[in-house]
Structure 1
């Protein structure tokens, strides 16, 4: 699928370390768009994010849906624009249906089925920008080692594959999250909890999402730094952004990543990353 996608080219000396944070979906939990929010917060903290995603096939609101509700013109950003946006905004969204034209034919049937399919697993492996570092959430613990090995074989240099408590394809706000870590061509496994980030636990029910209007409203409050400290959604995003910053090499530890993510929100840098991308998507 990636070789059949529209090719994203970088000048030989200008490709930075690119990161992506993406889930397979299909976990049935319908949480807030934490990977999208975490990607934007991480971009505000200084890493270059090329996020690959699509509309929801089983939940109310996917990454493409929430970004569109926030004003992005998804179809306007093509392969020729990625390099410029990576350097100017540090965040760019590669809409799967734009970069994989054949996926348009499958969008309707996938939505009608409303269940996970092989494309849930293939999606995270087919980012046309070929990020060197990734966090990939999986809906099943059994898939974790296989996904990590697939990332290794595809040339990803550093990655975490994560599977959270209650079947979540994200780092979970409560309980253990299983991690399969790829580094130096080797895969190791361990578990983390919110305490690993020096953050409290929150019930999964407190980070449920809604439709695109609800989730985009939450995203705006997050990026405007209007969520109260200790809010479940805020801590959920801080954890996942911190992990991405750690995998990217920006944060030495997970608590350090939390502080960098907090500063991205406090300073308005995360908001600027999103607004810059949205503005560029209108004229790309």
Structure 2
């Protein structure tokens, strides 16, 4: 049946949910080779994945991952980007920490860099966080500290089956850029997600509407950012249950001055960690802070803390100015190492 599915893809035909599930299970059970996996990935990219295919792959990957279920008060939330866009200073990592400082339980799912010079794991590790905790340790950290980094390889063994074929191909497929952000192992139903290409806003938001998620904000900066842009306009798709609302925003809509890419450009993990600490400490009051505050405002909307981004901006500034963001970072750094020893 795998060859039939591959044939359909090469003819530009969409796969059924059963055919997609079979592919994932064939990978799991080593029924297909790396060459066959690579062929499937290329064929799917060339055809262009459908909303139903993305949703079906997500369900199958969720069913075959190590899942956790932290007991929390509040709306469990994830903040992440697909990567692949312009390289900034790991906005999603800073945003996750700032979101947690607002009292939101955060299951920050991610990995090391594939496309950027510094992925979320790299940046958090440079900040001092132990990012490679076991699933049990990650679950406990969310429950007791309010945030944990969930290192994808420790939860998704099937992603390794895709990694080497994709690496050999040298092209982006959908598993790390689209599927990865949708398969949070804690099942976080609230999500702030950035995508690196305009067409992914519709694809990802419509897939999320099929996946029993409560409130998801999918964002793309039209200048090529996989987050809400401080450089210019952004396209937003807001998912509430099965309903999707799409709209455009710009920094000046919220009182922010447009920045240049040089103002928010990222670097290696140490550089990005320094930027985040500078914003949290109050030393950096410029465009990078504005960039983070704007993104955090929408994360707080997705998390259900505020109803309007304007209120989220106020709360983000309060959590930075009060030192809560720095305190949450230091709490996470300390506890992540303590829990690893337990």
**TM beyond 0.5:** yes
After superposition, the Cα gap between the structure-2 partners of 1:278 and 1:104, relative to the gap in structure 1 and judged at 3 Å, is farther
Pick the structure with greater CA Rg: 2
Q: Is the 1:198–1:255 contact (alpha carbons within 8 Å) kept by the matching residues of 2?
A: no
The answer to whether the aligner puts 1:246 opposite 2:301 as a matched pair is yes
The answer to whether the aligner puts 1:5 opposite 2:65 as a matched pair is yes
Q: Is the 1:26–1:115 contact (alpha carbons within 8 Å) kept by the matching residues of 2?
A: no
- TM value normalised by structure 2: 0.76
- Where does the alignment leave 5 or more consecutive residues of structure 2 unmatched? 1-60
Q: Is the 1:40–1:274 contact (alpha carbons within 8 Å) kept by the matching residues of 2?
A: yes
* Correspondence list, 1:142-221, <5 A: 142-221=199-278
1:11-46 per-residue CA deviation (whole Å, 9 max, x = no partner) reads 5xx46411111111112x111111110111111122
Q: Is the 1:30–1:208 contact (alpha carbons within 8 Å) kept by the matching residues of 2?
A: yes
Q: Which runs of 4+ in 1 moved over 4 A?
A: 104-115
Residue 165 of structure 1 and its aligned partner are, at CA, apart by 1.9
1:53-110 per-residue CA deviation (whole Å, 9 max, x = no partner) reads 11111111010001111112222x2222334322332221111112223435655675
Distance 2:154 2:283 in 1: 33
Residue 112 of structure 1 and its aligned partner are, at CA, apart by 7.2
Task: Give the count of matched residue pairs.
Answer: 278
Query: Which shifted more, 103-112 or 60-69?
Result: 103-112
Q: Which residue of 1 aligns with 2:157?
A: 101
Distance 2:171 2:113 in 1: 11
Q: Which residue of 1 aligns with 2:77?
A: 19
Question: Aligned to 2:312, what secondary structure does the other structure show?
Answer: helix
After superposition, the Cα gap between the structure-2 partners of 1:235 and 1:62, relative to the gap in structure 1 and judged at 3 Å, is same
1:167-193 per-residue CA deviation (whole Å, 9 max, x = no partner) reads 211001122111111114211111111
Question: Aligned to 1:153, what secondary structure does the other structure show?
Answer: coil
User: Taking CA–CA contacts closer than 8 Å with sequence separation of 6 or more, which of the two structures ends up with the larger relative contact order?
Assistant: 1
- TM value normalised by structure 1: 0.91
Which of 85, 107, 110 lines up with 2:141 in the alignment? 85
Distance 2:216 2:67 in 1: 22
Q: Is the 1:72–1:282 contact (alpha carbons within 8 Å) kept by the matching residues of 2?
A: yes
Query: Which shifted more, 121-130 or 190-199?
Result: 190-199
What is the alpha-carbon root mean square deviation over aligned residues?
1.9
Q: Which residue of 1 aligns with 2:192?
A: 135
Q: Is the 2:201–2:237 contact (alpha carbons within 8 Å) kept by the matching residues of 1?
A: yes
Distance 1:206 1:217 in 2: 15
Q: Is the 2:219–2:228 contact (alpha carbons within 8 Å) kept by the matching residues of 1?
A: yes
Question: Aligned to 1:74, what secondary structure does the other structure show?
Answer: coil
Which of 96, 105, 115 lines up with 1:48 in the alignment? 105
Which of 326, 329, 338 lines up with 1:271 in the alignment? 326
- Where does the alignment leave 5 or more consecutive residues of structure 1 unmatched? none
After superposition, the Cα gap between the structure-2 partners of 1:257 and 1:184, relative to the gap in structure 1 and judged at 3 Å, is same
Q: Which residue of 2 aligns with 1:259?
A: 314
Q: Is the 2:77–2:303 contact (alpha carbons within 8 Å) kept by the matching residues of 1?
A: yes
